Every structure is written in C-alpha cells, then in structure tokens.
Structure 1
Amino acid sequence: MTSTVMPGAEPFAAPGGRVGVLLSHGFTGSPASMTPWARHLADQGHAVAVPRLPGHGTTWQDMNRTRWHDWYGELDTALTQLRASCDHVVVAGLSMGGCLALRLAQQRPDDVDALVLVNPAVNVKRLDIKLVPLLQWIVPAMPGIGNDIKKPGQDEIGYDKTPLKALASQVTMWKEVRAGLGKVTQPLLFFRSTDDHVVDETSQAIILGGVSSQVTELVEPTDSFHVATLDHDAELIFERTDAFIAQHVGSARG
C-alpha cells in the first residue's frame, strides 16, 4: 500500500506554448528539487511537467518496492503528454533524473529536442556501491544522500535512507544508459557543481566523452553542492537554460 505524499513533494505541471520542458528529480528526492525551476520556465511561457517518480516523496520503504523501469515509465508517459501539446520538448534532469533524461533521448530521439543535465549520475567510484547487488539481500537501506545543499533553509524533501533494492536497480540502469550514450545526438547543456558530495567527477567524463551530440555546453556552478537547482547557483541554471533553449529549440511563443 502506497503512503501519503509528503507536503511539497507533489508533482507540478503548467500549460504553455510550443516548447515543453520535462523535468526529472533525482534518486530518493522529489519534485520539490525541480519545482522552482519549473515555475521559472512556466513564467517564460513554456509548458512544463515535473512528475513524481514512483516510490518517491512518500517513504523509503515504498521506494524499495520500485525499480528503474517504474521511474522511466513515469517520465516516458509525461513526455508523451507534453508532445501531444508542444512542437518541441526539452528534457532536464538532476542526478538520477539526468540519467533518465539520457535514456529518453536514446529511446525517443524524435521526441526529445535538447537535454539539460544537472550533476547527472551514470557512475560512482564509491566502493560500497559495488557491494549493493549483494547487500540488498542483507540490509534494506543505507544512510541517505539527500539535501546536499550549500544554501541554508532549502529542502528537496527526500529520504534520510537509501533503499538498497532500488539502488541496485539504479546501478543496472546506469550500465544500460552508459552503453547507449552514442545514440544521444541532441544539443546538451551540462551543469557540474565544482563541490558535489554525492556524484563524483567520473559521470561527467563518461557522458561528455560518450554522447554524439554536436553541441555540448559545460557550466560549472561554484557556489552550490549536489542539489544545485535549490542552491546559490539556481538563478545561473535558470538563465543559462533559458538562453540554451532559445538558441537551440526556439522561443516559447515562437
């Protein structure tokens, strides 16, 4: 039985013009990490959608009953809905949301016009992650990774524990997405915090070295931790995204 959604972790959507933006939160996080960005994009005239990924925003025990195909399926459905009302769709993702965005670009190249990734995860160096396929059958959870935010008073409304069966599934997804990076051809805007305590530098090298995108822009926020969308550099992310969409996709009202 699914638990009640935590206040502030609800999905967000707003109608708009010909350009839609689909935003995905990260692993154990919630739409709260993306909603300010989504509201900004809606103010620019874009149609926006921030789904709540299955198992998120309720309890970590709920999440431990979900797998990566569940999270991807929610985004896939949201993309179909946005495409029904928009001429173009940009997909943006934070952390695991960035990995899911890459998967959408691989699987549905005609429906994804551009990508914006914020501290995306497709790999980690942490040795304990290599033990997760075994650990998931021994213990239900590890300590959480949420709220890596430099700015005081911010809350991504995530879990204080990392559910291991769900984490093992994410690791499986990383492998599949890494294997298909060459299929990604869309213009790519990549934000990488210089001080990130959750995702190490290996994902940046793997993604930027693996995609076939002719356009790749790297921006390095210097005053934010992992959840940069809620941090001191949020406005930088919003403004650079606006310029990127205008240049490579078109204006909202075009």
Structure 2
Amino acid sequence: MRILIINIALLPALLCQARGPVLTSQYDCFGCVHPISTASPDLEPFLRHAIEYFNNDTRSSHLFALKEVKRAEKQMVIGWNYKVTYSIEQTNCSKENFLFLTPDCKFLLNGDIGECVDRAYMDPNRIITSFSQKCDLYPGEDFIPLPTLICRGCPKEIPIDSPELEEPLNHSIAKLNAENNGTFFFKIDTVKRATTQVIAGRKYSIEFLARESTCSKESGKELTEDCEINLLGEILDCNADVIVVPWEDKIYPTVNCQSLGKV
C-alpha cells in the first residue's frame, strides 16, 4: 500500500440552521454542510482537477482514471467547500506516451486501484484556489473489491434520511442532553453519515451536527419539535454509537461531541 498525503488549509467552515433531525433535500443557507448526489454536475470541475492533480503528482508509470464517486459533501461559504470520496484505477495509457487521459485510455485488468478523499475550495468564479488530496493505493492483484467481501458483521452504510435512524437519533440526542452541562437543550441539525452493524443486537454509528436550542433545561420541559435552534448558539460535532437489543427491550447509546464554537 502506498499513501499520498497533501494538505492545504481550506477556508474555515461556517454552519447554519436547518430544520429537522435529518436533512437531505435543499440547503440554501449560508454555511450549511450537506451531502450532494455523486452524479451532480457540480462535481465535474472538482473531479477533473483531482484526477489531473493525482496524475501529475504521482510517480506511477501509467495514468489513473476515475472509477466511482462514493460520497460528496458541499458547503456554501463565500464560494463553495467540497469534500469528495472516490476510487481511481490504473489505465493502459503510459505517461511516456500520453500527457493526459483520452478516450483511448482503458482500465487495466489487474491495474493498481486507489481510494481518495479530497477537499477543495472553489471561489465565486468557480475556480479552485485551495485543494488537498489523500489517496491510498493498492496493487491490483492484492485488492479485493468491497462488494465481493462476505462479512455478515461488517458495518454497512445506510441513507441519512432512513426512517430506521429515527429511534437511534432520538436516543442519541437524549443522551447528549443528559450528559451536557449547558443550560439549553441541543437539537440535531444535520446527519452527515450513518452505518448499521449486526452484533449482539444492532449497532448504529452516526455522525451528526447538533445545535443549541432556545429551550432551557431550567424550564422543566422536555425537548420537543417546538424548540427552535438558536442561530447564535453553540454547535457540536458528534459521533454516536447506539446498540439496540430488541429481545431485551434495551438500548445503549454513547455520544461523544466536540464543540465547534458559536457562529
């Protein structure tokens, strides 16, 4: 395995209000971080830049081409921040004979394979002015594609708007508010990623952003849908593990959060 790491600081991320625990449709607010379709045309200049950057910076004898876009996130700032996870694969086009990819470049049968996570800032003129790339490379003969693996207990990605997440999210935010010493309740703002795993029960691992609400714990009331998010309140970046054991009628949530400060 070969690892290429290039780090360039991106613009500071801002976060903003959104309604409901799981958001996937429209994000028009300034600073919102949200998933976008892996087939979005917005990704075309990003991916073109990323592949060219990789091919120009690596010592591989052959050019690599995009294989699959796996996940993508977008954030509106003064311009746009992107974070994209994708796979690449070695082609039959050698750098000696090809300066860049052409339609004649085809994937090699046992070519090397890479997994990349890239971040970029695109200014209002849609020009990429900041970029970072981290790629793991695997020799083709040693790489086993994930879909061919048989692993009954391995974590599996689930849609962030899945109804299956409603109960784990409710327990996650209840656990967060019980352990947080702040005066106000927190609400889940955006779910970023979620997996499910069969263990002794079912385990949900969820990444989400939580924001301080206008509802005070001192009021004696519980957190409800009527509690509005405080636009000037604290923001938390959280990771939750929720284990559900149906036959015992028990749920075991754990939540770890890091403060992102206040907007």
TM-score by length of 1: 0.22
Higher relative contact order, structure no. (Cα contacts within 8 Å, ≥ 6 residues apart): 1
Greater share of residues in strand: 2
Structure richer in helix, relative to its length: 1
Question: Greater CA radius of gyration, 1 or 2?
Answer: 2
